[in-house]
Amino acid sequence: MKKNIHPKYYSDAKITCSCGNVIETGSTVPEMKIEICGACHPLYTGKKKEMGATGRVDRFKKLAEKAAAKKVAKTPKKEKVVKTKAEIKKVVSKKKK
């Protein structure tokens, strides 16, 4: 191997998660901070974690709820009066006179 081209290897590097979990491993960086790890990831724990930012699905659900609320709030349209053929003939005959 060539000398002085490889980074320094730290055999006691610490990885700190936002949940408080600390993992000791080997790395070229002495200390790392991560947001999520195997101890707090929902896939491994089975618990749902609330994230700070909302996603597209949440935004879509919110818009769908607003649209449904508007639909319910609208006043119903007047019903059409259905005339029979006899009634139509009477109206037409009155107009001809």
Count the domains in the chain. Answer: 1
pLDDT, mean over the chain: 82
- Note down the domain range covering 16: 1-48
Q: Is residue 66 part of a domain?
A: no
CATH (domain of 25): 4.10.80.400
Q: Is residue 30 part of a domain?
A: yes
Q: Is residue 29 part of a domain?
A: yes
From first CA to last CA, the distance across the chain in angstroms is 112
- Predicted confidence band at 42 (pLDDT cuts at 50, 70, 90)? confident
- Following DSSP, what letter does each residue of the chain receive, concatenated? --TT-SPPPEEEEEEEETTS-EEEEEESSSEEEES--TTT-HHHH------SS--HHHHHHHHHHHHHHHHHHSPPPPPPPPPPHHHHHHHHHHHH-
Q: Is residue 25 part of a domain?
A: yes
Residue 49: pLDDT over 70: no
Residue 90: pLDDT over 80: no
Q: What is the pTM of this model?
A: 0.43
